Each structure stands twice: as C-alpha cells, then as structure tokens.
Amino acid sequence: MASCHVCDLRVLVATVCGLLTAIVLGLGIWRIVISVETETLTPTANTTIKFCRNGGTWENGRCVCPEEWRGWRCTIPYFCESSTSDDLTFARIPVGKYGSSQQTCGENTLNVGYPIATRMCSISIYGEIVLENVTKGNCDENLETLENKIVNMAAQLENISSETQILTSNVSKMTPENITSAARVVGQIFNTSRNASCEAKDTAVSTVSQLLSVSEDVFQKTPDAPNNDDAFTTLIQQMESYSLSLKNNSVVKPNVAVQTVSFSTKSTVLFSVKKGDSDSFISGSITVDTNVSNPNPDAETELQILLNTSKSNTKCGFIVYQNSKFFRSKIFKPKSNFSQKIISGKTDDTKKDQRTSVEIVFNPRYDPKTFQIHSYACVYWNFIKKDWDTNGCHKRRGADEFLYCHCNHTTNFAVLMSFEKKYKYPASLDILSNVGCALSITGLALTIVFQIVTRNVRKTSVTWVFVSLCTSMLIFNLLFVFGIENSNKNLVKRDNDTNKMDSDKNEIPTQDTVVISNPTCTVMAVLLHYFLLVTFTWTGISAAQLYFLLIRTMKPLPQHFIVFISLIGWGVPAIVVALTVGIIFSQNRNDPQWELQYRQEEICWLAVPDKKDLITSPFLWSFVLPVTIILINNIVIFIIIIVKVIWKNNRNLTSTKKVSSLKKILSMLSIAVVFGITWILAYLMLIDNDVIRTVFSYMFCLFNTTQGLQIFVLYTVRTKIFQDEASKVLKLLSLSTGKKKSLPSVTSLRLRVRMYNMLRSFPALNEHFRLLEPSVITEETTLSESDQANPSI
C-alpha cells in the first residue's frame, strides 16, 4: 500500500513538473516567435540615416549637415579645397572661416606651435566660393603682448586685429588666459573712441566667432576675477555699439551675426534667424522686415525679435550669438551642449522716456526624440548684476510650439531652458519572467527549508555552500521582481507641448538639465549588483568544492573552510560593490546626476556604456570581468568532472556499468544548473543581429529565471525523504476527505509504472553532491566518508 502511495506521488510530481515545464517552454517559444515576427515586419530605422550624406544627421524632418556641406542631403560642397601659397599649406577650409597654415612658429618664438598664417574661405558677390589672400602673422607677438599694445592710442589696430585673429584661429590651443586677453583686445577694437577701420572691426567679428568655438570647459576655467568679467562685459557693450554703425548692412560669421537697421518714421523691425543646413550662421539665414505688426515664425524660423519703437529717425542694432559663453552667469550653469542663442536688440535713442517693447520668439534646436523642454525663463543680461535677470520680461502663451517672450526694454535677451531627458522606460516584466521568477522563488525557498529541516533525518550535513547559493539566488530574484523597475517612469511627463507649461512663473533655472533623482533606485541597483555577484561567487565556490571532493578525494578540505569560504562568498562581492560606488561618487561628486554613472535610469541596474567608453566603464570591471572569470572557472571544472567522473568507465566497479547514458546526461544537467552554465547565453546576446539576439534573449530568460525551479526539482523533489514526507501528507489529505480512489485500469497502471521507472532513472551520480541518500552506487563510499569527515560543509 505504501509503495502505491509512493508511486502515486511520483506520478503526480512528474505530471506537475511536466506541465510546468511545458507551460514555461510554450511561453518562451511563443514570445520568441512573436518577437521574430515583429522584427521581420518592422522596418528598420536606418533609412533616414542613409538619406543624409557626408556625416549629416536627420533631425526634425531634415538633414543637419556638417559645416563643410550644404543641401537637402548634404551633398553640395561648402568649402575651399586644400591649397598652397607662398610655401604655406592650408587644409580644407569651410566657407566663412579662416584656415590655419600647417606650418607653425618655431621653438625660439613666443608663439611656438601656433600657425604662421591664416587664409579665409568666402563667397563672392557672384555666389562663387573663393580663397582670399594669405594673412601672415608675427611669431614674436602673442595675445599678452597685443593686450599691452592695445592700450596705446597710437597702436595700429588693423595689424593688432589681424594678429589676434591668427592667434585665435586654432581653438584647440586656446587657454583660459588666451580667451581673456583676446576679449580685451577685441573689445578695444570695437571701442568707438579708437576709430578702428571697418576692416579691423570685421576681422574682430571673426575673432569673436572663433572665441565662441572654444570648448565650454575652457571657458569655465577662466579665473573668476573682476577683471575677467569686465573683459567680457566690455566686449558685449562695445559689440552693441558696433551693431548701430553698419548703415543697414550686416556682418555674418559662423557663430555671430550683426545687423543695423535705420528708419525715418515710427516703425517696427522684425529680425529673423532661419534654420540653415548646419548650425553655423550664413548670410541667407539672417532677414530683416519692417512695418510688421506681429512676429510671424514658420517651420524654418529659429529665432525672431520684433522691436517696436515710438521714435522716428532711429537706428536699431541686432546681434545674435551662437551660444552664451560670454555671458558667465552665476545663477544658470549649463552642463550640456544645448544651443542657448543670445539675441541683442538696441536702439540709438538713449532718452529715459523712451517706450520700446520687444517681442521675442525662440524655436530651440534640440532632439525631441531624446529630450523635452521642462521649463524656460525669459531673461535679459543685467550689466549691473553681471547676470541674468527677469525684470521687465515675461512669458507669453502662444498657439504653437514656439517659446514667446515680451520685454519692455532693449538689451541682450535669451531664453534659458531646462531640458528633461526622455528615457524609454521598459514595460513591466512580461508573463514569462513573472512565471519563471515566481517558480524559482518558491522552489528556492522550499529547497532552503528542506535542506535545513531534514539535515538530521538524511544523516548528511547541510551543504553550507549549497544553502548559501540558494539564499543569495532567492534574495536576488525577490529584488529583481519587486525592485528592478524605476518608479520614476510613473512621474515622468509624457507631454512635450511647451505651451502647457506654467506661463505665469518666469523663474530662472539653475541648469539646463533637470535632475530627477531616485535614491531608492540607486540602492536597489547596489543590492542587485551585490547579490548577483554573491550568487556567482557561490557558484564558483560550489565548483571548487566539488573539484576537491570528487577529483581530489584523498586530500581532506582545509581547516576553518566554512569561515574562509563565507568570507569569500559574502565579503568579496561587498568589497567590489563598495569600491565601485565609492570611486564613481568621488569622481563625480559635483555632478547632481552622479548616480547615473553607476546605474541606468530606465531600470535599476548597472549602466551599460557606449562602445567607446566600454574599457573604462564600471560595468566591465565590477561585473562583466569577475562574472566572466567565475564562469570560465566553472566551465573548466565542469568539463573535468564530466571527463574524470561521469563519463569515466571503471571496469572494476560493476555499478558504473549500470549507469546509463541518460543518467549521465541528467547528471551533467544537474551540475550545470548549480554551476550557472546557462549564463553563457548572455554573451550570445551580444551578437549584432536582431533576430539572433532576440532568440538568445528569450532562451536566456527561460533558463535563468527558472534556475531556482530546476534546483528544486533536481535536488529536493527527487530525494527519498521528500517523497516519503509528501506521500504521508497526501495520505493524510486522502483520509481526511474520506474519498476512496478507484482502482486504476491496466493501461493507467502501466503508465504509472513507466513514469515511476523514469523517475528512478535519474542519475545516481547525484549522490556525489550529498543531496540524495548515498545508498545506490557502491563507488560513492569514498565520497561519503569524505563528507562525514567534513560534517559542517
């Protein structure tokens, strides 16, 4: 009767396990098929990338070309070819810029390493791209000496302006001190009291454009001294005066454009900047209209300023800067490469009762697929505060995507914007992951309880390594299910309509990117990082333990082995994680988003770097590298055990001959589960093919989310003690319900016998791991004695 109950239990267990396996496999295959079909039917996103040529990028429905190309597809050359003149060689020069000679000043000169001469590439009045004459510099004049010379009222300003332009042509060699000196020199050239020639001022505008090309990092390193601020302030003020002296003409350089408009009657002036094929200003992108009542932006408009004056016989000057590097604010600190254009509007009427209103329209250039505007402020540059101010300016709601501002005075205006990055938060865990993790959590919990409770009954020690492995894996699965998702995805604004922002608050943002901090997600990423490293460490220790017990059975394990392996299993991963977080924080402590150097924003897991940053990434050194070393170690030991134990036939042992190939294969699978061999599928997910990567992704999910279930079936359900105890429980349940089972038919009985024999055919070599009763194979005697000699392992 007892045997029938055992047989019934085993049939039930086999049926349940078979159904669970079939369900999980079915879900996996179904998701793979759906994903492959989706990838096949979905068109690739490379069409727009291939459409733009010569390095152009597709943004907002058009190609944005590099400065050397123009046209709808960036196929029209916009540069001067390489040239040679007076034994000086010049590389390709974009239109509107000066090119530096490849020959530089010698070592015995003040300007060692700086170009000897420059040459400008421009467009003639007939629209032809031409190279202008070479302008040679003086290698014994640097920006510091020119700064001292400019103080002399009798100085030759045209030569100084030319020398300054040459010395600032190579922006990569510019230092913070060079920027300050050049700003002082150019500011004096624009000074009306110096009476510099038009050519000198035109060259000075080129120098200003070149200074605006210097990296933001170099500008930020300029010393915070009053003299430096005065240099930039003086330059800005003198540029405003210069903007009133061009007699209805304009000067357009790649990073700055200046325009003068004169009118004799009361009028309005609309100054517009159109979006070009590149980020640089060109003559055709600057337009001026008079007697316009309201701004009239269109899809090609990037910036407009409408100046309405109550006086006649007035001059208006406009300046647009490509960025805000001259406006060193203490309130607003830009951290990214977003273009913050500055527009200046000024009239020559200085009377205090002047009534001038200014309407400004901004259409910022950014990638709407990656960022969205979080907030913005309409501001002007306050020369007294030497910072941005909102007095007299306010937002105005519009009916389109443009940003509207209104001010009651003229000066340098800007819209300071803060952007919020659009993260593609993944959907919640799908049914395959949920089912697999739920089964693994249940199986691991039951396995841990079983190993601890039945220690004395099984007359074998609780495998400390095995229990530690199951514990770390259980905690990781719990954290993964309940903590992998970032709660920020429920807080992110999905609406990118700028007109729905609060138009009443005109508050200056402190930086151009919004920080949405989530310390909980960071803590969760740290815990996931730690417990997954712990899990892999214990798989490595399991492999080492089995190697000592199976391959080197005559050599007992060292003393204090439990303490030693516990320090390794639980302590080493803690050191790795602590060092990783500490190093990242120390290197980025001034960055409010330092935690995104450690984790992702999309999920609470380690940040995956770009290919160019892979070598220096913490993801590589604190996770991929140690996991790879452990997996290689486990695979090597796995192969050794297969060759020397499982598939080795010893003719002196009759029990070995009775071990079938099926049992050996199942023994290999049992070892592979504990060693985590299936994690090598993660490396196959790196294959650069969407279909193959999808297939391996779902295989990885299928095998590794159910790893706890596999351990439960192979190392708990199969034990005789578990089966006996479960049989007693079923017997009690059967008696309590009072139901009598009918005798099975002959066919059903045969099926149960076959299922029973199949269960009995599971590999007996699992006794090596001391998780089953050591009573089947006689060759296990040596191992059992070794196990008893180490009862605490």
Question: Residue 128 pLDDT > 60, yes or no?
Answer: yes
Neighbouring C-beta atoms of residue 352, cutoff 10 Å: 4
Strand 88-90 relative to strand 57-59, pairing: unpaired
Question: Residue 113 pLDDT > 70, yes or no?
Answer: yes
Q: Looking at residues 464-489, what average pLDDT do you find?
A: 88
Position 793 scores a pLDDT of 47
How far apart are alpha carbons 349 and 222 in whole angstroms? 35
pLDDT tens, position by position, 618-672: 888 899 899 999 999 999 988 888 888 776 665 554 554 445 666 777 777 878 8
Q: Looking at residues 578-605, what average pLDDT do you find?
A: 87
Q: What average pLDDT does the structure give for the chain?
A: 78
More confident residue, 251 or 337: 251
Torsion on CA atoms 36, 37, 40, 43, rounded to nearest 10: -120
Question: Residue 8 pLDDT > 60, yes or no?
Answer: no
Q: Looking at residues 515-540, what average pLDDT do you find?
A: 91
Query: pTM score, two decimals?
Result: 0.66
pLDDT tens, position by position, 33-45: 444 444 443 434 4
Position 584 scores a pLDDT of 92
pLDDT tens, position by position, 738-762: 544 444 455 555 555 555 554 444 4
Give the least confident one: 187-191, 451-455, 464-468, 778-782: 778-782
Question: Residue 493 pLDDT > 80, yes or no?
Answer: no
Give the least confident one: 104-118, 190-204, 215-229, 580-594: 215-229
Question: Residue 32 pLDDT > 60, yes or no?
Answer: no
Question: Residue 127 pLDDT > 90, yes or no?
Answer: no
Element containing residue 442 per DSSP (H, E): helix 431-453
More confident residue, 573 or 25: 573
DSSP letter, residue 296 = -
Position 229 scores a pLDDT of 60
pLDDT tens, position by position, 309-318: 777 778 889 9
In the chain, the domains with their CATH numbers are: 245-422 (2.60.220.50), 427-724 (1.20.1070.10)
How far apart are alpha carbons 289 and 267 in whole angstroms? 10
Backbone angles phi, psi at 128, to 5 degrees: -95, 145
Backbone angles phi, psi at 412, to 5 degrees: -90, 120
Question: Residue 190 pLDDT > 90, yes or no?
Answer: yes
Q: How open is the CA angle 628-634-640, to the nearest 5 degrees?
A: 140
pLDDT tens, position by position, 469-479: 999 999 999 99
Question: Residue 772 pLDDT > 80, yes or no?
Answer: no
pLDDT tier at 685 (50, 70, 90 boundaries)? confident
Share of the chain above pLDDT 90, in %: 24
- CB-facing half-sphere around the CA of 468: CA atoms within 13 A: 23
Position 36 scores a pLDDT of 44
Torsion on CA atoms 111, 112, 117, 118, rounded to nearest 10: -80
Position 117 scores a pLDDT of 93
Question: CA nearest 179: which of 189, 188, 191, 167?
Answer: 167
pLDDT tier at 16 (50, 70, 90 boundaries)? low
More confident residue, 89 or 643: 89
Question: CA nearest 694: which of 362, 432, 329?
Answer: 432
Beta strands in 310-402 (DSSP E): 314-321, 342-347, 356-362, 371-382, 387-389, 393-396
- Whole-angstrom distance between the N-terminal and C-terminal Cα of the chain? 38
Element containing residue 669 per DSSP (H, E): helix 661-675
Name the 3-class secondary structure at 731: helix
- Distances in Å between the Cα of 229 and the Cα atoms of 164, 232, 321, 436, 728 are 20, 5, 18, 63, 87
Position 239 scores a pLDDT of 93
Position 667 scores a pLDDT of 75
How far apart are alpha carbons 416 and 418 in whole angstroms? 7
How far apart are alpha carbons 61 and 301 in whole angstroms? 14
Give the least confident one: 85-99, 265-279, 581-595, 626-640: 265-279
More confident residue, 209 or 410: 209
